[in-house]
Chains A and B, each alone.
Chain A
Amino acid sequence: MNENVVLHVADVHKNFAGLHALSDIDLSVEQGETHAIIGPNGAGKSTLLNVIVGRLAPSRGAVVFDGTVLTGRKPYEINQLGIARVFQTPEIFPDLSVLHNVMIPALSKRDGAFKLNLLRTLESETAIREEAEEVLHDVGLHERRLVHSGSLSRGDKRRMELAMCLIQKPRLLLLDEPTAGMSRHDTNTTIELLKKIKSRGMTKVIIEHDMHVVFSLADRISVLAGGRIIAEGAPDEVRGDPRVQEAYLGGAH
C-alpha cells in the first residue's frame, strides 16, 4: 500500500436492522490531499463519517489512521490522535464566548483528555488566548470574540466551529457539509479559507452537496450511492463518468 495513506477505511460494512447503509467501502486518503465524498441523499455519507470518528461501530471492517486502528475507540481518543470534525449542524458551546469556545480545544490539545487544572486562572493562559485570537483572525471572527457564541448567525457559528478544529492543528480534518445553509458570499469566503488551510498541508475529508465547493477544493472525489462507492478519481474523471452522471449529477446539476 502507498505509504502516504493517512486514513484507510478497509472493507467497512454497516447494517441498520437489515438495511445495508454501507457495503464494501474501501477508501484511502493520502497525506495533504482534500478528499471529497459526494452522493445523493441517503447514500451513506454521514454514516461513513460517523464510523470514522467512532460515533458508530462498523458491522464489519476497520478504519485505520496512520497505523492505528480507530474502530472501537471513543470519540475523545480519536480526537486526541489528531482527527477533528466539523458537524453538519454546528456543535459549539452556546453558553460561552467565542474566544472561550476556541480556547477549549487548544487546552485539550495541550493538556490531553483530562487535567485537574485548578491552580491557574483562565486569564493567565495567555499563550492559549493569543493562539485563539490568531485563529479567530483567520476565520474573520476576531472582532466578535467576546460575543456570546449562541447569539452568532448560523454562518458565523460554522466558521467558529471550523476555528475550534483548526486551533488543534489536526492531522486530519473532517468536514460535514461545511457550507450547508450559507449564502453564496459566505460559501465563497469559506472556500477561500479552506484553500488557505490546504496550502498548509492539512489533510481533509469533505462531505458536500454543493458541486461548486467540491470542484473548487477537492483533489480526489469518491462518489457514494446506495452505500457503495461507485466511482473514485480526480474531479475531471469523476465529472465525466457516466455512472456518476446517472446516479448523481444527472438530475438537478
Chain B
Amino acid sequence: MNPALITRNDLLLFLGFSIAVLAMPIWLQPFGAAYPDLLQRFAIYGIFAIGFNILFGLTGYLSFGHAAFFGVGSYAAVWSMKLVTMDAIPALVFAVIIAGLFALVIGFVSLKRSGIYFSILTLAFAQMSYNLAYSVLTPITNGETGLQLTLSDPRHLDRILGFASGSPTLLGQPLLGFAGFYFCAGLLIIAFFIAQRITGSPFGMMLKAIKSNQTRMHYTGFNTRPYTLAAFVISGMYAGLAGALLAITDPLAGAERMQWTASGEVVLMTILGGVGTLVGPVIGAWIIKYFENIFSAFNEVILHRTFGFLPDGVEDFVVLVTSKFVGEGWHLTLGLVFVLIVVFLPGGVMEGVRRLHHLITRRSGPAGKPATRTQPAE
C-alpha cells in the first residue's frame, strides 16, 4: 500500500467506522433507536463533534461558541432552498462556505487570545450571533418563529427547470425516511475520512504540537496563528455542514440552535467520547442524542411495565425513584453519566475501550508475563 495515500491502520479504522455507520439501522434495533429521524441526528451531530474535535482535540483551543456556525449553516441552507432550489447539494455547499467565512472572522479575532480568554471570546461572539438572529436580523432569520420553507418561495432555479417539490431533494429524489439517513450517513463517513486525513498529515501534527507546547513552536520557526485559524475555520465548516443537514432533514432554522447550551452540548459530546480521538466524539454525540430522544420518552407507564415483576409496594417505590431519572429527568441521568466518566475515565469512552482492550490482551498474553505492569508516574 502506498503510505502517501493512507496507512493500513487508518484504512481499517475507516472501513470499520463506515460499516458501523451504515449498519446503524440494524444494530440500533434492540436499543429502540433505529428510526430515521433519530439516526439522522446521530449522523448530523457526529459530523458536528468530529469538526469540533479538530479544534478542541487536536489544537487544544476550547471554543464555547460553535453553535453559532451550526446555526449559520442552518440559515444558509434554508435560504438556498428558499431562493434557489430544493436540492440539498447547493444548500450544503452554500452553508459550508458561509459558515467558513463566518468562522474566519470570529476566529481571526478570538485567536488573538488563548486559554480561558479564547473560550470567553467565542462564547461572547456566539451569544451575539444568537441575539442578532433572535431579534435584530429578523428579516433574515425570521426571529422567534424561525426560518421555514413556504409555497410562495421563489426557488428561481427550480422554476427555470420546471421542478417542484414540497420537501428537500437530492438530484430530484426526495430525502425522506431512510433516504435522508443514508444521505447524512454518507456525509458523516466523508467527514470522518477528511478528519482522519487531517489528523495523519504533517498539518495535523503541527496542530498537536501547538496543543503540546506553543512556545516551542514559535522558537522552532512556526507562525502558529495561521495554523490555529485554519483549524478554527475547518471546524466551523464542519459545524456549518451539520447545521445545513439538520435544516435539510427538518426544514426549519431557529435561533435556539445558536444558543450557548447548544455550544456546550458539543463540548460535552467530545469530552464524553474522548477528546483528541477520531471515533470518540462521534460516540459521545450518539450517547447524548440517545439520552435526549429515548430516555426522555420513558414515562411511568413504561416503568410500571418494566418493573411489573416486583411485588406491588416495591414496584411503586422503584418506579417512583427511577421516574426521576427518565422523561423530564433525562438531564439528571446524563449529568450522572458525565460525572462518572470524567471522574473515572478522564479520556472518555475511548479510554474505557483502551483499558478494556489492554485488560483482554494482557489476560490472553503469554502466561510467563507478570500480571502487574509498571506504568510511568504522571
Q: Residues of A with Cβ closer than 8 Å to B?
A: 53, 74-76, 79-80, 84-85, 87, 91-96, 100, 103-105, 107-109, 111-125, 151, 164, 168
Residue B308 lies at the interface, judged by CB distance under 8 Å to chain A: no
Tell yes or no: B365 within 8 A of A by CB.
no
Report the minimum CB–CB distance from B158 to chain A (whole Å): 36
Is the CB of B201 closer than 8 A to any CB of chain A?
yes
Main secondary structure of the interface of B (DSSP, over half): helix
With A95-B208, A114-B227, A123-B7 known, 20 other A-B pairs at CB within 8 A are A75-B219, A76-B224, A79-B220, A84-B219, A87-B219, A95-B211, A96-B205, A103-B205, A113-B222, A115-B202, A115-B203, A116-B203, A119-B197, A119-B201, A121-B10, A121-B197, A122-B201, A122-B202, A122-B204, A123-B4
Which chain B residues lie closer than 8 Å to A95 at the CB level? Answer: 208, 211-212
Q: Shortest distance in angstroms between B238's beta carbon and chain A's nearest beta carbon?
A: 14
Q: Total interface residues on B, using CB and 8 Å?
A: 35
> CB-CB < 8 A to B6: which residues of A?
121
**A221 CB to closest chain B CB, in angstroms?**
25
Top-4 shortest CB links A-B? A79-B221, A124-B4, A93-B212, A113-B223
How distant is the Cα of A100 from the Cα of B204 in the complex, in angstroms? 12
How far apart are the CA atoms of A120 and B231 in the complex, in Å? 17
- With an 8 A cutoff between CB atoms, is B215 at the interface? yes
The answer, among B5, B7, B216, B376, for a CB contact under 8 Å with A93, is B216
A118 neighbours in B (Cβ, 8 Å)? 197-198, 201, 203
Q: Within 8 Å of chain A (Cβ to Cβ): is B206?
A: yes
Contact of A94 among B10, B200, B212 (CB under 8 A): B212
Return the contact of B3 from the options A92, A117, A121, A168 (Cβ within 8 A). Answer: A121
With A118-B197, A123-B7, A151-B376 as known contacts, state yes or no: A164 contacts B208, CB within 8 Å. Answer: no
Contact A104 B206 (CB under 8 A): yes
Do A96 and B212 touch (CB < 8 A)? yes
Which residue of chain B lies nearest to A126 when distances are taken between CB atoms in the complex?
Answer: B3
B226 is an interface residue with CB less than 8 A from chain A: yes
A104 touches B209 (CB 8 A): yes
Q: What separation, in Å, do the CA atoms of A118 and B202 have in the docked complex? A: 7
B209 near A93: Cβ-Cβ < 8 Å: yes
Please state if B198 and A104 are interface contacts (CB–CB under 8 Å). no
Task: Report the minimal beta-carbon distance from A84 to chain B, rounded to whole angstroms.
Answer: 8
CA distance A118 to B198 in the complex (A): 6
Chain B residue at minimal CB-CB distance from A123: B3
Q: Is B324 an interface residue (CB 8 A)?
A: no
Contacts of A114 in B (CB 8 A): 222-223, 226-227
Measured between alpha carbons, how far is A94 from B221 in the docked complex, in Å? 18
- Find chain A residues with CB under 8 A from B205 CB: 96, 100, 103-104, 107, 122
B113 within 8 A of partner (CB): no
A84 to B217, CA, bound (A): 12
Interface core residue of A96, A116, A121 (most chain B CB under 10 Å): A121
Say yes or no: A105 contacts B221, CB within 8 Å: yes
What per-residue 1/0 map shows which CB atoms of B1-16 lie under 8 Å from chain A?
Answer: 0111111001000000
Q: A53 touching B219 by the CB < 8 A rule?
A: yes
- The chain A residue sitting closest to B377, CB to CB, is A151
Minimum CB distance partner of B7 in chain A: A123
B218 close to chain A: CB less than 8 A:
yes
Residue contact A125 to B220, C-beta cutoff 8 Å = no
15 contacts between A and B (CB under 8 A): A76-B218, A91-B215, A93-B216, A100-B205, A107-B206, A108-B221, A112-B221, A113-B222, A118-B197, A118-B198, A121-B200, A122-B201, A124-B3, A151-B376, A168-B220
